[in-house]
């Protein structure tokens, strides 16, 4: 009779035998029974919660975090997101995602919290040039798995679009970030906050 491999026991045995090795390398000793978790085809690694928190704080010590959030800085010092804001709200958002490259450098991240109203989830910050689609897809998938009914966020409206809206020459739908969110199924909800340049949007989940 063929005996099935108990992967949990194998991993524990390997970890005890090679406890002085980095876990990233001991995992490869039992392949293909174990595969690195959250690994994408682009050789990026997804991190969650405390591991994501560490990567974000590490990136803040260099210009790395500033460069990531620069595209969503928004309306000067009054609106949008900068690295200072990210560090202030990091502790207030218990759900954390991060994507790091093969060199360990942070490529993108998202900070979220659960909202009791409508059993929804709120994205406080999502940033990551080139990896935004991957982050958002993971956020939506995880929210569905946790039976959330809605995801809410506030899109940063650029100063250029705000000026045009003020003159009656544009709407929030002309903003690239709003268009990007709409491509993911989000809809504009509520009024634009002109002072902060933030537009509420939401996605209803099936």
Same domain, 26 and 58: no
Same domain, 145 and 107: yes
Q: Based on the structure, what is the number of domains in the chain?
A: 2
Residue 18 belongs to domain spanning: 1-36
Q: What is the dihedral of CA 49, 107, 138, 23, to 10 degrees?
A: -50
Same domain, 2 and 77: no
Same domain, 178 and 154: yes
Encoding tokens for residue 5? 């491999």
pLDDT in tens, 181-203: 999 999 999 999 988 889 999 99
Same domain, 25 and 106: no
Poorest-confidence range of 18-22, 151-155, 168-172?
18-22
Q: Mean of the per-residue pLDDT values for the chain?
A: 82
Same domain, 114 and 192: yes
Q: Which of residues 85 and 78 earns the better pLDDT score?
A: 85
Same domain, 112 and 156: yes
Encoding tokens for residue 63? 């210009």
Same domain, 32 and 49: no
Same domain, 118 and 135: yes
Same domain, 63 and 146: yes
Confidence of residue 56 (pLDDT cuts 50, 70, 90): very high
- Range 131-144 average pLDDT: 96
Same domain, 79 and 96: yes
The answer to whether 99 and 131 are in contact (CB under 8 A) is yes
Give the sheet arrangement for strand 45-48, strand by strand.
45-48, 95-100, 106-115, 120-127, 150-156, 198-204, 187-188
The CATH number of whichever domain residue 145 belongs to comes to: 3.40.630.30
Confidence of residue 72 (pLDDT cuts 50, 70, 90): confident
Q: What is the pLDDT of residue 79?
A: 58
pTM reported for the whole predicted model: 0.76
Same domain, 138 and 161: yes
CA 93 distance to own-chain centroid: 11
Whether 117 shows a pLDDT value over 70: the answer reads yes
């Amino acid at each position: 009779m063929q005996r099935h491999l108990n992967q949990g026991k194998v991993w524990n045995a390997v970890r005890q035998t090679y406890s002085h090795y980095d876990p990233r390398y001991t995992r490869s000793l039992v392949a293909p029974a174990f595969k690195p978790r959250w690994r994408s085809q682009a050789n990026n690694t997804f991190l969650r919660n405390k591991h994501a928190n560490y990567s974000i704080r590490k990136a803040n010590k260099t210009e790395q975090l500033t460069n990531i959030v620069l595209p969503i800085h928004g309306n000067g010092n009054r609106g949008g997101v900068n690295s200072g804001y990210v560090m202030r709200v990091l502790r207030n958002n218990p759900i954390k995602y991060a994507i790091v490259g093969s060199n360990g450098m942070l490529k993108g991240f998202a900070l979220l919290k659960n909202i009791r109203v409508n059993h929804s989830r709120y994205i406080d910050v999502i940033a990551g040039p080139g990896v935004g689609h991957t982050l958002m897809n993971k956020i939506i998938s995880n929210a569905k798995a946790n039976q959330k009914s809605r995801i809410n966020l506030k899109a940063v409206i650029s100063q250029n679009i705000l000026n045009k809206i003020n003159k009656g020459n544009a709407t929030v739908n002309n903003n690239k970030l709003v268009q990007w969110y709409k491509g993911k199924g989000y809809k504009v909800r509520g009024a634009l906050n002109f002072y902060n340049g933030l537009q509420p949007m939401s996605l209803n989940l099936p």
